[in-house]
């Protein structure tokens, strides 16, 4: 994804302490959105791709922060979303904070350089547990004292529930693409029936995973509400492949707060724009 930076004419440096900052970080780059909750409007959006994505993620992020004046200001609240494939959902009935590391180690190797964190997702009745490098946590907490940490799939799952009507018996399906990492969320009758991550290398791989999930769960795609978001191009190769198998696919473009930047497709940063500040 190319670098870009857009600021609305209403953006006011003197009001930064009343704005909300949402940051999303992955090994390939960092993006952020600044939100004016009084106007109920997103007033700035920026993305920077790292020149050396194989470099340590903390080093790349620190350099990005040094170079960006708006990442060196005080905000009312700072929400940080971390993109990684190392996360698991634990049903609330079985969750005990004392066993946090044990839950994580059931699916992943936890290195000495990582910390395990969690977010509670009320409608899913589940805890989203994930790891973040300890050095990155230290930098974030010191640089943004008001920061709140989240895995990037937390707003994804929350917003999938928000798409479901109270009496909607159809499957509500949200597909999120973050470069070569894909998440599939399926909600039916206000219950989470599926959530998983998939690493893929080709568009054919992605379609195979999606259709395998639908087949296994007996999803009737003619009676399903399918929405897609993230780094997928409208009318691009993957989108066209999916349309061969799924009768109707919507791009997630409707948010509670106004997004005034027509220069970029807003489904790309749906996690940040969907966030409940």
**Ordered structural domains, the chain, with CATH:** 4-83 (3.30.420.250), 87-151 (3.30.420.250), 157-251 (3.30.420.260)
Say what the pLDDT of residue 276 is.
67
Say what the pLDDT of residue 51 is.
93
Say what the pLDDT of residue 222 is.
87
State how far the Cα of 45 lies from the Cα of 42, in Å rounded to an integer. Answer: 8
Say what the pLDDT of residue 190 is.
87
Say what the pLDDT of residue 46 is.
97
Q: Which residues contact 22 (CB under 8 A, 6 or more apart)?
A: 32, 33, 34, 35, 78, 79, 80, 81, 272, 275, 277
Say what the pLDDT of residue 168 is.
64
Chain Cα centroid distance, residue 129: 14
Say what the pLDDT of residue 165 is.
60
| Alpha-carbon distances, residue 62 vs 40, 66, 67, 136, 213 (angstroms) | 30, 6, 9, 9, 39
List of the chain residues with pLDDT < 50: 167, 277
CB atoms inside a 10 Å sphere around CB 211: 16
Say what the pLDDT of residue 274 is.
83
Q: Which residues contact 210 (CB under 8 A, 6 or more apart)?
A: 175, 182, 184, 242, 245
State how far the Cα of 7 lies from the Cα of 5, in Å rounded to an integer. Answer: 7
Contact 101, 86 (CB under 8 A): no
């Amino acid at each position: 994804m190319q670098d870009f930076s857009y600021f609305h004419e209403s953006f006011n440096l003197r009001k930064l302490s009343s704005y909300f900052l949402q940051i999303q970080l992955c090994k390939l780059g960092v993006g952020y959105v600044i939100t004016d909750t009084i106007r109920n409007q997103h007033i700035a959006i920026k993305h920077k791709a790292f020149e050396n994505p194989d470099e340590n993620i903390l080093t790349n992020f620190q350099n990005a922060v040094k170079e960006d004046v708006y990442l060196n200001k005080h905000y009312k609240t700072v929400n940080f979303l971390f993109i990684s494939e190392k996360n698991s959902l634990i049903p609330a009935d079985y969750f005990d904070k004392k066993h946090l590391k044990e839950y994580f180690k059931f699916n992943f190797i936890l290195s000495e350089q990582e910390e395990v964190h969690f977010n509670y997702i009320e409608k899913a009745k589940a805890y989203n547990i994930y790891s973040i490098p300890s050095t990155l946590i230290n930098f974030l907490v010191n640089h943004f004292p008001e920061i709140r940490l989240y895995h990037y799939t937390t707003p994804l799952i929350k917003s999938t529930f928000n798409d479901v009507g109270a009496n909607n018996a159809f499957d509500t399906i949200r597909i999120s693409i973050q470069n070569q990492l894909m998440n599939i969320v399926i909600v039916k009758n206000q219950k989470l029936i599926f959530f998983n991550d998939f690493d893929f290398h080709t568009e054919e791989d992605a379609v195979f995973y999606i259709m395998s999930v639908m087949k296994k769960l007996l999803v009737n795609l003619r009676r399903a509400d399918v929405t897609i978001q993230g780094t997928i191009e409208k009318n691009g190769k993957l989108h066209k492949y999916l349309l061969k198998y799924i009768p109707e696919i919507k791009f997630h473009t409707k948010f509670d707060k106004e997004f005034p930047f027509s220069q970029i497709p807003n489904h790309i940063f749906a996690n940040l724009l969907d966030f409940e500040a």
